Amino acid sequence: MGSVLIIGAGAAGSVVAKKCAMNRDVFTKIHLASRTLSKCEKIQRECKSEITVSQIDADDTNAVIALINQVNPKLVINMALPYQDLTIMDACLATGVHYLDTANYEPKDEAKFSYSWQWPYHDKFKAKGIMGVLGCGFDPGVSNIYCAYAQNNLFDSIDYIDIIDCNDGNHGKSFATNFNPEINLREVTQRGKYWEDGKWIEIDPLSIARMIDYPEVGPRKSYLIYHEEEESLVKNIKGLKRIRFWMTFSDNYIKHLDVLQSVGMTSIKPVKFQGIDIIPLQFLTALLPVPSTLAENYTGKTSIGCIIQGIKNGKPRKALIYNVCDHAQTAKEVGAQAVSYTTGVPAVVGAMMILKGAWKGEGVFNVEQLPPEPFLEEVAKQGLPWHVKEMAVEDLKEPLAA
């Protein structure tokens, strides 16, 4: 059906390439490019069908333009770092090629991810006659699509959304992150916030926590953090009164994070070391395990979903839409742990939606603005089945027990 260019050969990018290679009825030509050619070549050897590879500096828009012209894809799947979103979007604009990513833009010198840089591309993409799909991972991504499905099918109006994300896996390392350490630690250490009654409320990092009962995992301590899908869901879920995002972190993770922060290792400000400017967080990233190496012997599950409360047929309703993914099963299928799998598979399905014409449009879109039903049907087939669980409505103002 179409040719795709995948930029980024990290843990999730590897999943995207391998899953595309399993669906040749849709992906007729697959090209993988990354700053490190050896990573691409390793993935190339592990794919079930033939893909081509090359080296690319995704910070260089002209280089990306040249690669797009060489490969001639219908769609670019951006699995690179969030810092590189804009250069790749600029290259897609210059070449008239559709664009899809899994995480919104974040400047290198400030830990502040926001759609405020990418949304202004809407008119330029529309004028070019191309489509840009933003945030098509799991969260953001599938979480947004669960909310869109709920708005279309389960509720007449939605009041409260709590996105809940648990990784109950064990990789056996003393400290490691499940995706790029630099991006992970920037996300976790910035101030948290949530949206309620028409305004954003900021909190100190990891200052609010509570127990949440996750399907197939059980009760786990979960921390309120800010996550990018809140920004778009506030715009696109009509009548929403509050949205929050909760994520589990083990006591061991928090202990290490506290120590690393206290000695300045999570800072993104340059410091002098032997006459050279280094960024502590980037140095720390070089010391930590590479996420793509964690799959072997990884045990446990991820359990991610949306608790949604509102009104249906004049009566209060609360439901949980969720997926549970097993680390051992994803390692067996594609050699990746479940966090990478749950990010990569939705990007592949989003690409399918564009190439098949199930998602159409000119401009830039968050995934909840697009039809959720065909996506959810396909993502279940591709390895991420989803479930709806009815929940007892106890208090319309508080969808989670304290």
Q: Which two tokens stand for residue 88?
A: 């790749």
CA distances (Å), 109 to each of 112, 173, 285, 379, in order?
9, 29, 16, 35
Q: Which two tokens stand for residue 282?
A: 């980037």
**Alpha-carbon torsion (151, 152, 154, 157), positive or negative:** positive
Tell me the mean pLDDT in the region 253-265.
79
- Determine the pLDDT at residue 106: 84
Please list the alpha-helical segments (H only) found in 24-152: 37-46, 61-71, 85-95, 122-128, 142-149
pLDDT digit string, tens, across residues 270-304 = 888 888 888 888 888 888 887 777 767 888 999 99
Q: How far apart are CA 20 and CA 42, in angstroms?
A: 16
- Determine the pLDDT at residue 402: 39
| DSSP one-letter code for 335 | S
- Determine the pLDDT at residue 28: 97
Give the amino acid at 193. Answer: K
- Determine the pLDDT at residue 80: 96
Question: What are the beta bridge partners of residue 137?
Answer: 141
**CATH topology (fold) of 142-334+385-391:** Dihydrodipicolinate Reductase; domain 2 (3.30.360)
Residue 35 has pLDDT above 90, yes or no: yes
pLDDT digit string, tens, across residues 170-188 = 877 777 776 677 767 777 7
Provide the percentage of residues in the chain whose pLDDT is more than 70: 96
Q: Which two tokens stand for residue 178?
A: 């499940």
Residue 399 has pLDDT above 60, yes or no: no
Domain ranges of the chain: 2-134, 142-334+385-391
Tell me the mean pLDDT in the region 344-357.
98
> Which band of pLDDT confidence, cut at 50, 70 and 90, is reported for residue 398?
low
- Determine the pLDDT at residue 401: 43
Q: How far is CA 204 from the centre of its chain?
A: 23
- Geometric angle at alpha carbon 370, from 365 and 371, rounded to 5°: 175
CATH number of 2-134: 3.40.50.720
How much is the mean pLDDT over the chain?
Answer: 92
pTM of the model: 0.92
Nearest C-alpha neighbor of 233 from the set 372, 31, 356: 372
Which is higher by pLDDT, 299 or 251? 299
- Determine the pLDDT at residue 400: 54
Q: How far apart are CA 101 and CA 12, in angstroms?
A: 12
- Determine the pLDDT at residue 111: 63
